[in-house]
Amino acid sequence: MITTTPIPLVTCRGVTRTYGSGEGATTALRGVDLDVLPGELTLLVGPSGCGKTTLISIIAGILKPTAGSVKAADQNLGFMTERSLAAFRAQHVGIVFQQFNLIPTLTAAENVAVPLTINRRPPKPSRTAVQHLLNEIGLGDRGGAFPSQLSGGQQQRLSIARAIVHQPRIVVCDEPTSALDQQTGRNVMQLLRAHAVQQNRALLVVTHDQRIFEFADRVVHLEDGRVTGDERIQRTPAGSLPQSEYVAPSQSPCP
Amino acid sequence: MVQIALKMLTRNRGKYLAIIAGVSFASLLIAVQCSIFCGLMRLTTSQIRDVRDAQIWVMDPNIKFIADFRPLSSGAMHQVRGVEGVEWAVPFYKWISRARLDDGAVQDVILLGFDDATLVGAPRQMQQGDITDLRRPDAVIIDEVGFQILWPGEPVRAGKVFELNEKRAEVVGICRASKTFRTLPIIYTRYSQATSYVPPERKLTSYVLANAKPDESVDEVCRRIEAQTGLLALTKQGFTWKTMLFYVNETGIVANFAITVMLGALIGCAVTAHSFYLFTLNNLPQFGTLKAMGVRNTRILYMILAQGALAGAVGFGFGVGLAVFLCEAINRKSQLISYVPWQVLAGTALAVFSMVAAASLVSAQRVLRMDPALSFRE
């Protein structure tokens, strides 16, 4: 039987990011190496200020690394202009924010449709795609509701729908469950697995929430701007979710 | 994206109304002030406009405006008639006289005398009586507003008798005339009758009114009149501008109005800019999210400009609509007159849209400079 190694969707090599200059400069990332495979749910964990959000911002094409290289969705982000990076984000990246970041004056359906509008997709198929996705996330009858009329869980589901409606290859999530209760958080993670990972997207989730570790395929631990642990979670053959298999990461920095 | 921008604006009712109110207020202030100024300027030239039959006004070269009396010699009219291209020329008399009423009350009046034969310069809108009634002895026509000044509270009707320079004058008709700068009654009569109401003088022609032949250029005929007579010959429009420019240059009216309009515009501008700036600032997180999702700065700028354009258009519509309504009310209820020419509307639109565009661009700076990565740090 021949097995092939999947090609990483995201490749970071020696990624360093420094904010400011001179004596006030702060280094958020120090030579991070990371490969993210398609269909993989990767959790980025670590203490506050360890560089998790900076790392997903760089992978999403929002920030540029000060040093090192980032290749995502076959594009070398380090050499791209701001305009190209914006186009890259619009086309290849879906983002789920901690506070959902829905536009309060747009309805649920209009919020989900925003990435399609950004990508200038034709309105009619867009409406169909949005309605289909709203049905799938259980908000099919709430398309006309404004975010303020929805619960936190519903808003986060909407935020996930918005992140995947344009079929991006990479989805980054910043603390997607921190504002949610346990059950809602589990539902959100199941939704993310169903719609992101199973459709062969690379999913990177920044989190402090240990309750969701069981959903991960891999846990990458960051500390002081370095990767200090990288563990793959073994799945059962049927692919069911493991029961609390998370093990404390190694304390040794990655080479 | 523009649709998203407009929904962001219009569905935020409170902020939207505040911006609309600001723009409307600015438009209202600018339009009303400018309309009152234009109305005032029209008042100064109303008697030129009311003489509808003549294309050319011939006058003493030193005359500065319509109410600047510098009589011409009786030969002036004949000189003008002799100029090539002149179809006809008639005398026109204008003087401030004094009317004495039955009860002994005295009131200054504007006395206008027009050619006995042609009646060029006679009022066109008669309320009572007929213009031909002026052929009767001592006959005069008075404007409706003037009648109410001379005989306040009395029903407006022909038949009233009064004295002009101790000579009998009988009102045979009531006409409608444009309001004048000095709100005085206007007495219309034949030229020969008018000159009998004033003390005997050698020069009794205020202006010569003339028309160019149909195939002649009016400007060219004016030039010929000036060359041959040494008098000043202006087209109706030219004399209108000369009169208005006198008030602009020689009085403080323009400066006063300019200050008021500028203050109004500044206040409106400040209110609008502040409201719009706050609105954009309020939407900063949403714009940041859109930038993180891949919306380029140029599209963000279009979104903000579209919001400004809509707010500007709606606010301008409301403001100007209200201004026109107010001006109409002013015209009905007061002696002051306002006038809203298209130039006022165009100027107001230019001012308001420049103001909104400036406010949009200033408020957009914050958004354009905003780091999309901030969306992760809220």
What ipTM, to 2 d.p.? 0.83
Give the mean model confidence (pLDDT) for residues B240-258.
81
Q: Are A60 and B292 inside 8 Å of each other by CB?
A: yes
Whether the CB of B285 is below 8 Å from some CB of chain A: the reply is yes
As given in the structure block, the two tokens for residue B123 are 């009022």
> Which among B289, B296, B373 is the nearest to A101, CB-wise?
B289
> Which among B4, B12, B376 is the nearest to A97, CB-wise?
B376
The CA-based dihedral angle spanning residues A184, A187, A188, A193, taken in that order and rounded to the nearest 10 degrees = 160
Q: Is A245 exposed, middle or buried (0-12, 13-18, 19+ CB in 10 A)?
A: middle
The pTM score is 0.72
Under the banding of pLDDT at 50, 70 and 90, the label for residue B335 is low
**What residue has token string 């404007």?**
B143
- In chain A, the percentage of residues whose pLDDT exceeds 70 is 89
Give the mean model confidence (pLDDT) for residues A179-198.
76
> Which among A83, A97, A110 is the nearest to B375, CB-wise?
A97
Residue A248, pLDDT above cutoff 70: no
Whether the CB of A90 is below 8 Å from some CB of chain B: the reply is yes
In chain A, the residue whose alpha carbon lies closest to the alpha carbon of B3 is A117
Contact call for residues A188 and A177 (beta carbons, < 8 A): yes
Residues of B in contact with A103 (CB under 8 A): 4, 8, 286, 289
Give the mean model confidence (pLDDT) for residues A42-65.
87
Domain over A38-64+80-232 is classified CATH 3.30.2010.10: no
Contact call for residues A175 and A207 (beta carbons, < 8 A): yes
Residue B347, pLDDT above cutoff 60: yes
Buried b (16+ CB within 10 A) or exposed e, B266-288: eebbebbbebbbebbeebebbbb
pLDDT of res. A146? 92
**What residue has token string 């563990």?**
A231
As given in the structure block, the two tokens for residue A161 are 């729908």
Residue B257, pLDDT above cutoff 80: no
pLDDT digits (tens, 9 = 90+) for A100-142: 889 999 999 999 999 999 988 888 888 888 888 888 777 888 8
Name the helix (H) or strand (E) containing A11.
Answer: strand A10-19
pLDDT digits (tens, 9 = 90+) for B293-322: 889 888 989 998 898 889 889 988 998 899
Under the banding of pLDDT at 50, 70 and 90, the label for residue B247 is confident
pLDDT digits (tens, 9 = 90+) for B37-50: 888 778 788 878 87
Give the mean model confidence (pLDDT) for residues B154-162.
84
Least confident residue range of A173-187, B88-102, B135-149: A173-187
Give the mean model confidence (pLDDT) for residues B183-204.
80
A 10 A CB-CB count for A164 gives 23
B78 to each of B69, B72, B86, B239, how far by Cα in Å?
20, 12, 11, 21
Residue B344, pLDDT above cutoff 50: yes
pLDDT of res. A247? 36
A206 to each of A41, A220, B309, B341, how far by Cα in Å?
11, 10, 40, 64
Mean pLDDT of chain A: 81
Under the banding of pLDDT at 50, 70 and 90, the label for residue A3 is low
pLDDT of res. A244? 37
CA distance B226 to B255: 33
Residue A239, pLDDT above cutoff 60: no
Residue B114, pLDDT above cutoff 80: yes
Residues of A in contact with B378 (CB under 8 A): 97-99, 101
pLDDT of res. B376? 67
Give the mean model confidence (pLDDT) for residues B130-144.
86
Give the mean model confidence (pLDDT) for residues B248-259.
78
Across B33-47, B80-94, B269-283, the highest mean pLDDT is recorded for B80-94
Residue B130, pLDDT above cutoff 80: yes
Mean pLDDT of chain B: 83
> What string of DSSP letters covers B233-259?
EEEHHHHHHHHHHHHHHHSSHHHHHHH
Under the banding of pLDDT at 50, 70 and 90, the label for residue A251 is very low
